[in-house]
């Protein structure tokens, strides 16, 4: 399936969130710019967000993809909290979840089991992040 950005009349909406203590967002900002340059609307939440804030924001923004970047090592508890919050919503959420960061293989498996669609390692090239997002979101017609 080869789809270019230009045949999507409706831009893909992506939220990029940083949760927890880690104070580095240079990587996320690079990803944000790459996705923007691929024609997407990127909503960046800023640093040190809580899972509650991020889930509320993703619902309000009606995004297609929620990407959570974590470098703090607390990824499992944070994602469990996110999925608890998603389960408590009045209706099933419609966005796809992506995780970014460094984590051991067994955690990656567990995240997949929880419902994270893809886990992108810290050194994933930005272009392949674009590819992943494009693969996650079907082309819509109005």
**Interface ranges with another protein (CB under 8 A):** 5, 9-11, 13, 32-33, 35-46, 49-50, 52-53, 55-57, 59-62, 89-91, 94, 117, 135-136, 138-142
Which of these, 67, 62, 81, lies nearest to 27 by C-alpha position? 67
Cβ atoms of 78 and 20 closer than 8 Å: yes
To another protein, the closest distance from the beta carbon of 51 in angstroms equals: 9
User: In sequence order, what are the residues at sequence separation of 6 or more whose Cβ sits closer than 8 angstroms to the Cβ of residue 25?
Assistant: 18, 46, 47, 69
To another protein, the closest distance from the beta carbon of 100 in angstroms equals: 17
Which CB, 10 or 102, lies closer to another protein? 10
To another protein, the closest distance from the beta carbon of 104 in angstroms equals: 25
For residue 22, give the H/E element and its range.
none
Cα separation of 100 and 103, whole Å?
Answer: 9
Which CB, 55 or 111, lies closer to another protein? 55
Which CB, 112 or 140, lies closer to another protein? 140
């Amino acid at each position: 399936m080869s789809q270019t950005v230009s045949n999507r009349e409706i831009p893909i909406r992506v939220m990029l969130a940083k949760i927890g203590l880690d104070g580095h967002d240079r990587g996320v900002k690079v990803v944000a710019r790459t996705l923007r340059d691929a024609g997407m609307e990127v909503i960046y939440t800023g640093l040190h967000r809580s899972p509650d804030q991020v889930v509320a924001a993703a619902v309000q923004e009606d995004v297609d993809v929620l990407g959570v970047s974590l470098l703090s090592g607390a990824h499992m508890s944070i994602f469990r909290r996110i999925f608890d919050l998603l389960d408590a919503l009045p209706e099933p959420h419609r966005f796809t979840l992506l995780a970014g960061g460094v984590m051991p293989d067994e955690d990656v498996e567990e995240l997949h089991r929880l419902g994270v669609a893809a886990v992108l390692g810290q050194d994933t090239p930005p272009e392949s992040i674009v590819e992943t997002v494009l693969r996650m979101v079907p082309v819509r017609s109005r």
